[in-house]
Amino acid sequence: MKAGIALLAGLFLLLTGSGARADKMRIQVWHQMIYGHRQVLAEAIGEFEKENPDITIQATYRETEELRSSYQAAAMGGSGPELVYGPSDQVGPFATMGIIRPLEEVLPDTPWEHYDPLAIPLYEGRHYMLGALVGNHLMLIYNKKLLSTPPTTTDELIELGKKHTVDLDGDGKIDRYGLVFNYTEPFFIAPFIPAFGEPFMNENLQPNLNTAGLRDTFQFILDLRDKYRILPKECDYETANALFKQGKAAMLINGDWSWGDYKENKMDFGIARIPRVSSTGRWPRPLVGTAGYSLNANLKDPARLAATLRVLKYLTSEKVQALFTERVGTLPSLLSLREQEAVKNNPLLRVSSEIMDVGTPLPVVPEIRGLWDSLRTQYQKILAGSTTPSEAAKNAQSMAVAQIKDMNEILTPDASLGVVKLVILAGALALLWLLRKNALGFLKGFYGPQRFVYLMMLPAFIGIFAVIIYPFFYNIAISLSNFSLRTFQDWSLVGFHHYIATLSDPKFYSLFLKTVVWTLANVFFHVTLGVFLAVVINQVLPAKGFWRTLFIIPWAVPQYITALTWRGLFNQEYGPINLFLQQYLHLSPVQWLSQPVTAFLACIVTNVWLGFPFMMIVALGGLQSIPQSLYEAAYLDKANAWQRFRHITWPLLMPVMVPAALLGCIWTFNNLNIVWLVSNGGEPGDQTHILVSYVYKAAFNLYRYGYAAALSMLIFLILIGWSLGSLRAQFKKEQKS
């Protein structure tokens, strides 16, 4: 037996080891390349490894947003991949946080002039990224089977659009749209802003949103949807893509990354500039950027650095760029390659270059995030009908300025720091004093006769300490500090600033209210549905086992799958719910996810779906312990089903349901996954947030770690207070009876 354990332990340790091979140097590259591009990357890597047997390259794919947050987390922890590949707008944040290195330091004789300036964005005068392609820009893509020539002005766009928006089979549902695109995302309307008025960022790289230009852009999109009706009522990226591929859209606004997908689907498509705005005569200016490699600032070891630089040079070399161009049609960043046949004679690339001529470089400064975010919030509000374009423009500007100020704020210790230090000291002393007996007794216990007990608890205790207690205190520290974008590497305690800011922000209270509503609504339905089904299964239906199994399914499905599935079900265009409403009930479709109230409802429905099985199981258990004789007596007393339920079932079920409901409240209050995934991060316009999802956004999207930490603490304190309160109330009730 003991030998068996030793063997298992050895095997265990062996198998938990990481995949690194000791003899080869392993260079990690994180990227967000889409599927088609990944294959090419793999090919390029394969070649390199053949020629350089001492190096292995491990390429890891992450979705763009996640790439950003996990790289931040990794780099913050002192590790992370040697190279990180992503869009140029990640340069600003990463450079500010000090987690990527200026390339001048390590590659001083790079021939920068050989590259398209767009591929080597400058930040604060230095190069932090070397791009292998240029583009990522938006354009008008049209289905050649439906249109032979694309529109060149917006008036033409509207005309053609109207012509092609048809209801083919007369069932009241539009079968083909003139134009589709992901119009809820600011990036996709950004090109129009400079065409209607001033650009959205001024020369000092500060937001310039309260302009007529922005207002008119908003109005234009609204008109496309509501007045001219050439856009679907609700359209996200997936929907636009699907409609176009199915031939149900004549025109589409999308980027060059999508060509591969359309080619694969054998679409006959053409590209063109986004049409000139008729009223101003100006071309929309798509944002052109690059996707490129940055160097991890944590990389210090000279040998490793040398190897990484070899990889970097290879991946941005002529050879690899040409490979990409050949396979997936990207525009290389090396100017020399642009002269080559492959590029010059590629019709798509030629037109693409023309499009880029009216483009404008994508800003790389971190401020752009604050700008996108506030733009998105206001814009989605307009689309939902809760505000007007001019109001929105004004609010967007003030929001952007405020967010940027917050992001750039380097808090300095204020008066409250002294108080904080005092409180912490006093608190620690008080804690030690209170627990002195406990702690000493606890420690002594290890040597006493009860040693067995303490040993039994040790592993769990260590685990819980490391994994929950330690992060908890770490979080307290962050909440009292100025940890944020600009103080990423060297943060310090500053006092209660974040707590004061949070508690004086009306948003906190509205979020709190929303979270309470969320929790109560969910738990109410969970319990009601659960008890109802339990009673019916237990008392009315045959084959209890079958029904029990059936209703457990929602609980068994992993949460992330649930969330995405329901998001799909609620899709305005393709979701079965709307299809059902239209085809069977002949009701008009509901724009579930783009209106705040219905989006919130969608989240609730999803959470109810996955939560009621738990309550049902608990109720089934509780029902089993109610003696049948009680029902028989009631039956003889001529009680009907409802009375039996009310006077026997419910009171005897309560002691079982109450603890379960309390636990359910705590879990629901803290449930991040569903709200975040179903509403796609709080859409529309940040109005579908509960406290915990807002914490996530503040931390990982807005870089406001200190604020997020303080908010987490407040959430925790709310829950503790509430559960202590309800425990006491329960205790008192038990004492009375």
Partner 1 sequence: MIKRILAWLSVLLFAVFSIYPMLYVLGVSLRGDNAFQSQSLEILSASSTGKNFIDLFTQTDFLVWMRNSLWVSTVTTFLGVAFASTSAYALSRFQFRGRNTMLFSLLATQMFPPTMLILPFYIILSKLHLIDSFLGLFLIYSSTALPFCIWQMKAYYDTIPKELEEAAVLDGCSRWLTFYKIILPVSAPALVITALFSFMASWSEYVIAAVVLQDPQMYTLPLGLRSFQASLATQWGLYAAGALIVSVPVLILFISISRYLVSGLTMGSVKG
Do residues 102 and 128 lie in contact, with contact meaning Cβ atoms separated by under 8 Å? yes
Residues 382-401 that bind partner 1 (CB under 8 A): none
Out of 106, 146, 166, 656, which residue is the one contacting partner 1 (CB under 8 A)? Answer: 656
The piece of 304-312, 422-430, 586-594, 705-713 that touches partner 1 (CB under 8 A) is 705-713
Side chain identity at 668, as an amino acid letter? T
Strands 100-101 and 83-87: unpaired
- Identity at 355, one-letter amino acid code: I
Judge if the upstream peptide bond of residue 558 is cis by omega within 30 degrees of 0: no
Range 42-61, binding partner 1 (CB under 8 A): 58-61
Q: Is 460 in the site for partner 1 (CB under 8 A)?
A: yes
CB of 660 to partner 1, least distance (A): 5
Distance CA(553)–CA(570), nearest Å, equals: 20
State yes or no: residue 552 binds partner 1 (CB under 8 A).
Answer: yes
Residues 208-237 that bind partner 1 (CB under 8 A): 237
Rule CB under 8 A: which of 559-598 touch partner 1? 559-562, 565-566, 568-569, 571, 573-576, 579-580, 583
What is the C-alpha separation between 627 and 438, in angstroms, rounded? 44
From 545, 586, 629, 737, residue interacting with partner 1 (rule: CB under 8 A): 545
Torsion angle of the four alpha carbons 540, 542, 546, 548, in this order, in degrees rounded to the nearest 10: 30
* Smallest distance, partner 1 to C-beta of residue 215, A: 28
Among 25, 70, 154, 380, binds partner 1 (CB under 8 A): 70
Half-sphere exposure of 9 (CA within 13 A, CB side): 6
- In Å, how far are 147, 286, 701 from 283, measured between CA atoms? 21, 9, 32
- Interface segment toward partner 1; rule CB under 8 A; list 325-333, 396-404, 627-635, 707-715: 707-715
Half-sphere exposure of 578 (CA within 13 A, CB side): 21
Which residue number, 389 or 575, has a Cβ lying nearer to partner 1?
575
* Residue 301 binds partner 1, judged by CB under 8 A: no
CA gyration radius for the chain? 30
Checking 226-229 for CB contacts under 8 A at 24+ apart, the result is 228/158, 228/161, 228/162, 229/162, 229/165
Cβ distance 293 to 316 under 8 Å?
yes
Contact status: 668 vs partner 1 (CB under 8 A): no
| Residue closer to partner 1 (CB basis): 464 or 503 | 464
Closest separation in Å from C-beta 463 to partner 1: 4
Instruction: Count CA atoms within 13 Å of residue 458 on its CB side.
Output: 10
Q: Which listed residue (202, 279, 336, 450) binds partner 1 by CB under 8 A?
A: 450
Proportion of the chain in helix, strand, coil states, percent, rounded to 5? 60, 10, 30
Q: Are 201 and 363 in contact (CB under 8 A)?
A: yes
Choices 101-109, 202-210, 381-389, 558-566 (CB under 8 A): range interacting with partner 1: 558-566
The only residue of 163, 625, 637, 733 in contact with partner 1, by rule CB under 8 A: 625
Would you give the binding string for partner 1 spanning residues 233-272, x where CB under 8 A is met?
----xxx-xx--xx--------x-xx--x---x-------
* Site membership for partner 1, residue 453 (CB under 8 A): yes
Residue 335 near partner 1 by CB under 8 A: no
Binding to partner 1, residues 509-528 (CB under 8 A): none
State which of residues 168, 419, 456, 517 lies at the interface with partner 1 (CB under 8 A): 456
The answer to whether 245 and 180 have CB atoms below 8 angstroms apart is no
Q: What are phi and psi of 294, to 5 degrees?
A: -120, 155
Q: How many CB atoms lie within 10 A of CB 162?
A: 14
Residues 5-24 that bind partner 1 (CB under 8 A): 12, 15-20
Which of 536, 543, 597, 729 binds partner 1 (CB under 8 A)? It is 536
Residues 175-204 that bind partner 1 (CB under 8 A): none
